[in-house]
Amino acid sequence: MLIASKYEEMYAPEVADFVYITDNAYTKSQIRSMEILILKNLNFNLGKPLPLHFLRRNSKAGQVDAQKHTLAKYLMEMSLVDYDMVQYNPSQIAAAALCLSIRTLDQSEWTPTLQYYSTYSEEDLLPIMRHMAKNVTKSSTSKLQAVRNKYTSSKFMKIASIPELKSDTIQELAAKAS
């Protein structure tokens, strides 16, 4: 728990807190020793970067506005509950979400700058974009509504209810999804 909290939390608990929650079954020294042992056995390899990390980088490189970034976040989060999306790397999901967002909101092309920073061409991203478009078209009838409801709030610019998500761009891509 100590390693996980250090990795995930902004303000991780102190070692003394873990001594307390174990009812003094372990000392601070034992907890630190075990932490070192676990990290060494993992080769300090704690995990993969998330799609959001790649999206932030790509959005900054492409100088996209908040609406495009938010739509891309929505598309990415919808892919979390889709088992068919597991096969794609986080960087691919982020790039495809941003590319679809840009294409949907202002019919722009994937720029050479975005291709350079993401390392993917629009052609590389097309199968993922099609699948994301299919998810969008099914979102209103899906049993899983948490992400859609979240992005319907004003905090997220009501991005899940924008008319562009019913556009020909989305419909055409969804129709070509396998």
Q: What is the pLDDT of residues 35-84, one digit of tens each?
A: 999 999 999 888 878 999 999 999 999 999 999 999 999 999 999 999 99
Q: What is the pLDDT of residues 104-123, one digit of tens each?
A: 999 999 999 999 999 999 99
| Phi, psi (rounded to 5 degrees) for 130 | -60, -45
Q: What is the pLDDT of residues 86-108, one digit of tens each?
A: 999 999 999 999 999 999 999 99
81: its two tokens:
């509950």
Contacts of 90 (CB under 8 A, 6+ apart): 48, 49, 50, 51, 53, 54
Model pLDDT, residue 102: 97
Q: What is the DSSP letter of 42?
A: T
Confidence tier at 12 by pLDDT (50, 70, 90)? confident
Q: What is the pTM of this model?
A: 0.77
27: its two tokens:
């000392």
Measured CA to CA, the distance from residue 102 to residue 96 in angstroms comes to 10
Mean of pLDDT values over 1-9: 81
Residue 178 has pLDDT above 80, yes or no: no
Measured CA to CA, the distance from residue 80 to residue 55 in angstroms comes to 15
- Separation in Å, CA 73 to CA 25, 80, 91, 148: 43, 11, 13, 11
Residue 152 has pLDDT above 80, yes or no: yes
